[in-house]
A and B are shown apart, each in its own frame.
Chain A
Amino acid sequence: MRKVFLLSLTFSLLLAGANLAAQNLTGAEVMAKTFRTAKPQTSIITMAMVIAKNKQTLSRTFTLYATGDNTKGEAEKSIMKFLSPADVKGSGFLSIRKVDGATESLLWLPAMGKVRRLSSSNTDQDSSFFGSDFTNRDISGFIEADFTYETTGFAENRYQVEARPKKPMGYEKLVYHIDATLFTESKVEYFKAGKLIKTKVVTYTEVQGYQQPATIVMTSTSGSSTTLTLSDYRLDTPFTDAMFTERFLKQ
């Protein structure tokens, strides 16, 4: 009996120690783990975006081809090809984000018949992504080095990390709620001028051993919301750099 008691006590102490150690991670450490969670080398995913406002909806469907990881010293390349609705079908957007953060963007509009080079300023990055509640920056992803981080809480197995941008951008601060086991974003709150302006909630599904977002819902305090539903995952499919060219963008 005494042995059982001692074993239980030891186990509980070990668990509490581990838990305490976990809670002692700094904000930078939490976000470093989050940015470095296992990601597929390549991914092809279908995304359905529904923008809801005043009980009316607009939808967009596109296929996203992506490869590369800035945290591994690789350029992050992506192509979005729109599938619906019919007036945007065939349009494509190519983005190459280099390790230093510089971004090269090309836009293909079949009606115009030519590929247009785009510039990318802070204002462009903070502009709405095709009329949704996401900005272009929200979609392309944040750069870890652009923020300072501070752990502000730990509850229900989630870290609460406050991120403040080092240079001016569309947000004053972000509050991340990070799953302490998987180091994935469960929720992100976006603040501007001291007020909460929108909240992102992410659910995940496991695909080929990777935690992949299944739905991403961005809800603005103004009353609109955008839901991204991801499906048809094809991960680690080998494809070459020839896919991230004007030629593939126009096909």
Chain B
Amino acid sequence: MHLKFLPALLLLSCTSGLFAQTFSGALESGAGWWLNSDELLPLPQTFEGTVEGKIGNPEEPAGQYRALVRTSFDPITAASTVALREAWVTAFLGPFDLTLGNQLVTWGVTDVFTPCDVVNPQDRSLPVDAEKTPVPMGRLLFNGEGFSLDAVVLPFWIASVPTGLVVTGQSVADNKPRFTAENVQYGGHLKGTLNWQQGFDLGLTVFQGRNTLPRVTRAVKVTKDYDPFTLVGADAVLALEGGLLMKTEGSYRWVTGADTAEGVVGLEYNLFGVKTLGEYIIDWSQDLTSVEEFIHTFVLVGSFDPDSRLSLKAVGAWNLDQSGLVSPQMTYTVADGLKAELKGFMFVGASTTRYGTWSDNALGELTVRYAF
């Protein structure tokens, strides 16, 4: 089914110049290794091809488009896949931007934990490197004076890829939502900007959808349900004189019998040349028996570029259940468009804790990516 898009992409590429169109792509290859054993982790080898461009005057275009196809080879299964990632067209209609197609939408202001960023499902097969999945949707963005209103409609519900072992089999009832009007997801994000200090943004999010990860019930048989929810969220970012950036974001999700809430407060500052970000995250949940749970997490991220080629980053997360994650990362630009990245993920804590449950999964990754 995905191969149908390749001729269309080829046709688009032949109209080069008609719509200020560009073709670009990227090749990525890499390997990982489990730090607690001598086993290697084969990472998918990928090729991405992108066609994008503007329609009309480049400075005042009438429209814009983008299509991105990813092909990948999974060394574990020796299978190749072709996936259409993004494929959208935007029409600029006065103050409105109307975008239709497979796209990614990002709401909210915080960086590591993002309570208001709920539109797209995610591939969480590697939880520390989760990737959002573009999905078909209609998006209407109104650009006002000092504010914007972003509304989305998602007619087709698509599941996230969960972390860990996927539960399948004949004794599993996977109650994925059907493609009916009742299961259409929709929502909006209102953002306003005030002229205060070096800039102050406020946002409000409302979204009606269905969870993209299942609630698994184990009774006579295993049942996977994707509960409907209503989310209301807010976010704010203030850039202060003197270089301090303050961010906050929070959301409350009404889910039948099992509400959840998440709040994040973050500070960003350039500390002795190291761009430093700190976040405090509080998660609250209530299960079907009304038992409440609070999870407190602290995150610290430091980024430093010693020169034009080398970038260093360290990410640390600590949970009050005495578990944590440390991830050192290094990126080296070998030449224009060619980068090598070395990353490590280490988990500490007891096996019953949030991060400690992954303590046997300490991982190192080396990837090389060439973008052209």
Contact = CB atoms under 8 A, between A and B. Distances in A.
Contact of A58 (B143, B333, B369): B333
Contacts of A124: 243, 270
Contacts of B240: 119
B143 A119 contact: no
A119 B106 contact: no
A102 B335 contact: no
Interface residues of B, number: 47
Nearest to A103: B198
A89 B242 contact: no
Given A85-B336, A117-B237, A120-B239, A53 B26 contact: no
Given A86-B24, A251-B61, A117 B199 contact: yes
Contacts of B268: 119
Given A86-B371, A89-B24, A247-B143, A117 B245 contact: yes
B199 A246 contact: no
A87 B309 contact: no
A132 B307 CA distance: 8
B156 interface: no
B239 A113 contact: no
B104 A113 contact: yes
A113 B336 contact: no
Interface string A27-54: 0000000000000000010000001010
Nearest to A240: B60
Nearest to A122: B243
Nearest to A112: B106
A245 interface: yes
Nearest to A86: B371
A148 B369 CA distance: 48
A163 B50 CA distance: 49
Given A121-B242, A128-B305, A85 B273 contact: no
Given A102-B198, A245-B143, A85 B270 contact: no
Nearest to B268: A119
Contact of A123 (B201, B270, B305, B372): B270
A12 interface: no
Interface string B218-242: 0000000000000000000101111
Interface string A92-135: 00000000001111100000111001111111100110111000
B105 interface: yes
Contact of B105 (A113, A117, A251): A113
A131 B199 contact: no
Contacts of A132: 308
Interface in B8-38: 22, 24-26
A118 B240 CA distance: 10
A118 B273 contact: no
B85 interface: no
Contacts of B108: 114
Contacts of B239: 104-105, 117-120
A142 interface: no
A59 interface: yes
B372 A86 contact: yes
Interface string B96-140: 010000001111110000000000000000000000100000000
A243 interface: yes
Given A86-B337, A87-B337, A113-B104, A119 B245 contact: yes
A11 interface: no
Interface in A127-169: 127-128, 130-132
B129 to A, nearest CB: 13
A58 B273 contact: no
Contacts of B335: 56, 58
B97 A247 contact: yes
A203 B336 CA distance: 26
* Most chain B CB atoms below 10 A, which of A105, A114, A119: A119
B358 interface: no
A102 B336 contact: no
A139 to B, nearest CB: 15
Contacts of A210: none
Interface in A201-251: 224, 239, 243, 245-247, 251
Interface string B270-292: 10110000000000000000000
Interface in A165-223: none
* Most chain B CB atoms below 10 A, which of A58, A105, A239: A58
A114 to B, nearest CB: 4
Contact of B336 (A58, A105, A131): A58
B295 interface: no
Contacts of B64: 251
A84 B372 CA distance: 9
Interface string A58-83: 11000000000000000000000000
B334 to A, nearest CB: 9
A86 B245 contact: no
Given A112-B106, A119-B198, A119-B243, A86 B305 contact: no
* Most chain B CB atoms below 10 A, which of A58, A85, A103, A117: A117
A238 to B, nearest CB: 11
Contact of A243 (B59, B333, B337): B59
Given A86-B371, A87-B339, A251-B54, A239 B106 contact: no
Given A85-B337, A119-B243, 5 more contacts: A58-B309, A58-B335, A104-B199, A120-B243, A121-B242
6 contacts: A105-B239, A114-B109, A119-B198, A119-B244, A119-B269, A128-B308
**Which 10 residue pairs spanning A and B have beta carbons closest together?**
A121-B243, A131-B308, A113-B106, A86-B371, A87-B371, A85-B336, A119-B245, A114-B106, A85-B337, A119-B239
